[in-house]
Amino acid sequence: EVLEYQFGLEEEGIRDLFDCD
Amino acid sequence: PPQTPVRTVMNTIQQLIMILNTASDQPSETLITYFNNCTVNPKENILKRVQDIGCIFKEKFAQAVGQGCAEIGSQRFRLGVRLYYRVMESMLKSEEERLAIQNFSKLLNDNTFHKSLLACALEVVMATYSRTTSQHLDPGTDLSFPWILNVLNLKAFDFYKVIESFIKVETNLTREMIKHLERCEHRIMESLAWVSDSPLFDLIKQSKAREAAANLHESTCT
């Protein structure tokens, strides 16, 4: 049985990941 | 009924078709509003990018599976574009809720973001259908991940960045598809992100520089 997908714990969104301040 | 491998594949395809049957090949009214709210309207670039990538995708698909299957490539791409617009809208709604802003000009004008998101949508479509075709093709006709990265000339690390948000906002993905994207994540983390021209190394350098600056500041204060 494969574990459920683990989301990151930090409240990070797509905007942060593409470095958009 | 018992869940056979064939039943699982059929369910995954049905689920994808159900999600995208009513979706549009063009940006929705809600997306257009997001585009209009931008400092620089990204609409024309987004439409042109989709068109340009479409030509490349269809050409590479036909090269891989044969000119006789070119129409299948067009159908796959059309589904991918529908999913791309659908997920983009959900991502923006989610970010609007989180940040309480409506102007996503920088994000929506970021070429890498769009290529990564479109690549992820296309990967979901390709992976959905891949199990219905022959699994024993020669490497030249293998369209499974990371084939899509080469087609879009995209770095694995940039593709990695959209996966979690994609899964989070597209709540109708099947368990099989979530597992597939997770396997892509693992391959990127374990090897694909560590090639010599990966953007990951610039990030590590920046992080070290920030750390050094912080340490210097701390020692000066002391």
Q: Which residue has the higher pLDDT, B1 or B14?
A: B14
Q: Which residues contact B187 (CB under 8 A, 6 or more apart)?
A: B145, B146
Q: Is the peptide bond before B139 cis (omega within 30 degrees of 0)?
A: no
- The ipTM value here is 0.80
Whether residue B131 has pLDDT greater than 80: no
Average pLDDT over all residues of chain B: 90
Disruptive mutation site among A3, A10, A15, A20 for chain B (greatest number of B CBs within 10 Å):
A15
CB B163 within 8 A of CB B185: yes
Whether residue B3 has pLDDT greater than 80: no
Q: Which residue has the higher pLDDT, A11 or B210?
A: B210
Residues in chain A: 21
The tokens for B36 are 């209009």
Whether residue B1 has pLDDT greater than 80: no
Distance from CA of B196 to the nearest CA of A (A): 21
Mean pLDDT of B55-73: 93
The CB density around residue B9, as the number of other CB atoms within 10 Å, is 16
Contact at CB, A18 and B165, closer than 8 angstroms: no
Mean pLDDT of B182-189: 95
Torsion of CA B212, B214, B218, B221, to 10 degrees: 110
Question: Helices (H) and strands (E) in chain B — how many of each?
Answer: 10, 0
pLDDT at A1: 47
Which residue type, as a one-letter code, is found at position B156?
Answer: A
- Contact residues of B toward A, CB < 8 A: 91, 94-95, 98-99, 104, 106-107, 110, 112-113, 161-162, 164-165, 167-168, 178-179, 182
Q: What is the DSSP letter of A2?
A: P
Mean pLDDT of B120-125: 96
Residue among B91, B178, B179 whose CB faces A14 most closely: B91
pLDDT tens for B137-181 read 555 567 989 999 999 999 999 999 999 999 999 998 988 899 999
Of B74, B25, B57, B71, nearest in space to B152 by CA = B57
Name the pLDDT band for B117 (thresholds 50, 70, 90). Answer: very high
Measured distance CA(B101)–CA(B43) in Å, rounded: 19
Q: What is the DSSP letter of B127?
A: H
Residue among B98, B113, B182 whose CB faces A13 most closely: B98
